[in-house]
Structure 1
Amino acid sequence: MPLAFLRGIPRKLLQVQPSINLRSRAFMDLKVLVSLLNDFASLSLAESWDNVGLLVEPSPPHVVSTLFLTNDLTEEVMEEALQERAGLILSYHPPIFKPLKRITWQTWKERLVIRALENRVGVYSPHTAYDAAPHGVNTWLAKALGACTTIPLHPSAAPNYPTKGCYRIEFSSCSAEAVLSRLREMPGVSLLTTVPARVDGAEQVQVSLNCTQSALLQVMALLSQSSPVYEKTEIISLQKPLLRDTGMGRLCTLGEAVAVSVLTERVKSHLGVPHVRLALGAGKTLESEVKVVALCAGSGTSILQGTEADLYLTGEMSHHDVLDAVARGITVILCEHSNSERGFLLELQQLLAVHLENKVQVIVSKRDRDPLRVV
């Protein structure tokens, strides 16, 4: 009998294990997954200097069953991601920031790109898009303070709002039809509305229109041909509306004032670190009360600068910026750059599992860590 040799093999070894049935594993096309990640936090929220989005893309088609989260993509973390069979690495900090002139085995960042491509692993970085998002890194960091209300220090403008270089022009006229007919034919003029109005006791038409910067001179030249209209013209430079709860940094007002020492312990507990660096503001002690905190994950100097608060909380600041804050009576807590961010990954894991409807496995690196140690 051809299959007689199977009789000598233990029955349990012949059973197909469901855990290794690849057809039962959830997966997602890379392009679909990246689109969903972009929906989770729009890349338009990122700072202009940043390098965000899909940084390394394997040749299509490429499917992902495991999304691997890390704060920093080092060679050690890359090895872990490969062991976990990750299809996409989400690295909060972009491993490619400055342009690479060559891809060789000479530098560690070049080696990361080589290993990712050789093993068909994508690399995606959200960085400052997650800083600004209302459910992002800075909102997570604010939870270290206890009960508080928060607002962005630098609110983000609404993305894809077509107001850059746009102007609103408003004027009233009792004989506007001739002007309106020419305005309707002008390129760069839009949102033309007319409303009957009474101005100085006379029946007139209130006109409101938007125009581009290039069309502005043409519109004003046309209106100047009618002195009464031109003299009553108002020009408004349009700005993008600001988004609520979205932007860089956070200004936090605690429900109840607490001592510096208490707040320091809360921060250490939330971040899971044994120590932080503390600079007391001029005239302040560990028992001084804190009511208002300005914070920024990572390097907070440019975001916190000039903000009035009792305390600054960030990952790192330059020596002279700390001196400036202290001289103004502001206490500073520094917890190292990535320590102020890394803990967010565990919360992100839960958020993405829901956002992606558990269609891919989301895991957090165990080897990712701050490079600095106290010795």
Structure 2
Amino acid sequence: MTYIKDIAAELERLAPISYQEGYDNAGLLVGSPQTEVNGILFTLDVTEEIVAEAIEKKCNLIVAHHPIVFKGLKKLNGKNYVERTVIKAIKNDIAIYAIHTNLDHVKHGVNWKIAELLGLRNLKVLLPKKQLLTKLTFFSPVENTQAILRKLFEAGAGKIGDYSNCSFQTSGTGSFLPGENANPTLGDVGRLEVVTEHRAEVMFPSYLESKILAALKTAHPYEEVAYYLTLLENENQEVGAGAIGELAQPMRSEDFLRHLKGQMQVSVVKYTEPAFDYIERIAVCGGAGSFLLPEAICQGAQVFVSADYKYHEFFDAEGKIMICDIGHYESEVFTKILLHKHLSGKFSNFALCLSEVNTNPVRYFV
């Protein structure tokens, strides 16, 4: 049997909850983690119509990109679509899980998918996030260091970009005096022990702290493990907002606009005057991404593809870059396919359904 908590755990391996923005509300919003899953419906948004579709398709879990409960609810009396949707879900025993800015911030998430659709190469995070990495420093007998490191690497420590098993080690002299209630691995109670030890350091994503410390304490021979943790200011190059990369071949600006419109399957693109005759370096951000424009310009992007631009924000291009607004829904609707694909290879004992409802509240008269 598969429970909602199992689905949540797999989604959080893809995009840890701790990677969401402070204003966000990702995670299990409605329902119990202990409920057995009968079927999953994947969607961009959650509306009353989506809940009705879940009922029809016998799915008791909705996985959405946008959280239906975002700013918080003080009452549930059905006065707006948010309250009506939540009430309908609860009445029909349908759980709702949202995976929002945490999915925006990871490789192979929202922005990586846009870049894939546009055929971009040499991708990297446009604006990496800080304070997401922790350094573990521990001290151990020389003969035990490598065994401890192996366990730490298995738990997720020591990864820096495309490199794994990364650590730093140095030798020194350690000393300790076991008290009368101690059970020392080395030395005797009441006698000062002086030994040659390794000092070893590894980095890991901060959300793995409990797992890393459990591995350390399991592998370490000492009764009392000497270690300390340091939260790092380093940017995590694997996590952050937006993405930037290059086309395989430069395109004329008008050809790129046609390429963008076709690949993203949009009926219209709002854009500023092209700043370059040929386009090669592209920055992208699904959803509302105007805050990333300065970084896109700084990193030499010739085009910035995003959504939700206001009239006066288009002036910020200042002839340095072409802004392309493709619409919020259009820039993220594929998330349901992305999530369906991620889970379908891992769970096969119930239905995994893509929503057929167009939840876009915006219409275009073309």
Q: Same fold (TM over 0.5)?
A: yes
Contact kept? 2:2, 2:36, Cα under 8 Å: yes
Corresponding residue for 1:89? 62
Letter in 1 for 2:40: L
Give secondary structure in 2 for the equivalent of 1:28: coil
1:278 to 241, 257, 271: 271
Corresponding residue for 2:22? 48
User: Aligned pair 1:320/2:312, yes or no?
Assistant: yes
Unaligned 5+ runs, structure 2:
137-172, 178-193, 202-229
Whole-angstrom distance in 2 between the partners of 1:306 and 1:271: 23
Corresponding residue for 1:367? 357
Letter in 1 for 2:357: R
Contact kept? 2:41, 2:63, Cα under 8 Å: yes
Q: Which runs of 4+ in 1 moved over 6 A?
A: none
The size of the alignment, in residue pairs, is 284
Instruction: Note the C-alpha offset of 1:253.
Output: 2.1
Corresponding residue for 1:300? 289
Contact kept? 2:133, 2:234, Cα under 8 Å: no
Shift in CA distance, 374/264, structure 1 to aligned 2, threshold 3 Å = same
Shift in CA distance, 277/195, structure 1 to aligned 2, threshold 3 Å = farther
Shift in CA distance, 195/97, structure 1 to aligned 2, threshold 3 Å = farther
Whole-angstrom distance in 2 between the partners of 1:336 and 1:269: 14
- Deviation digits for residues 210-231 of structure 1 (CA, Å, limit 9, x no counterpart): xxxxxxxxxxxxxxxxxxxxxx
- Deviation digits for residues 37-79 of structure 1 (CA, Å, limit 9, x no counterpart): 2122211221122111001114x75211211111111222221
Shift in CA distance, 323/119, structure 1 to aligned 2, threshold 3 Å = same
Corresponding residue for 1:340? 331
Letter in 2 for 1:34: A
- Deviation digits for residues 310-348 of structure 1 (CA, Å, limit 9, x no counterpart): 1110022222221111x1321111111111010232233
Give secondary structure in 1 for the equivalent of 2:115: helix
Shift in CA distance, 334/269, structure 1 to aligned 2, threshold 3 Å = same
- Deviation digits for residues 76-126 of structure 1 (CA, Å, limit 9, x no counterpart): 222112211211111100010011111112111111111111111110001
User: Aligned pair 1:38/2:12, yes or no?
Assistant: yes
Whole-angstrom distance in 1 between the partners of 2:26 and 2:350: 22
Instruction: Note the C-alpha offset of 1:252.
Output: 1.4
What percentage of residue pairs aligned between the two structures are identical? Answer: 26
Corresponding residue for 1:268? 261
Instruction: Note the C-alpha offset of 1:158.
Output: 7.4
Corresponding residue for 2:278? 289
RMSD: 3.1
Unaligned 5+ runs, structure 1:
1-26, 164-175, 183-193, 197-206, 210-236
Shift in CA distance, 294/61, structure 1 to aligned 2, threshold 3 Å = closer
Letter in 2 for 1:350: K
Whole-angstrom distance in 2 between the partners of 1:155 and 1:147: 19
The more displaced of 60-69 and 296-305 is 60-69
Contact kept? 1:144, 1:266, Cα under 8 Å: no
TM-score, length basis structure 1? 0.68
- Deviation digits for residues 20-50 of structure 1 (CA, Å, limit 9, x no counterpart): xxxxxxx521222222221222112211221
Shift in CA distance, 96/156, structure 1 to aligned 2, threshold 3 Å = same
- Deviation digits for residues 256-295 of structure 1 (CA, Å, limit 9, x no counterpart): 211122222222222222222121145x5xxx11121111
Shift in CA distance, 122/181, structure 1 to aligned 2, threshold 3 Å = same
Corresponding residue for 2:343? 352
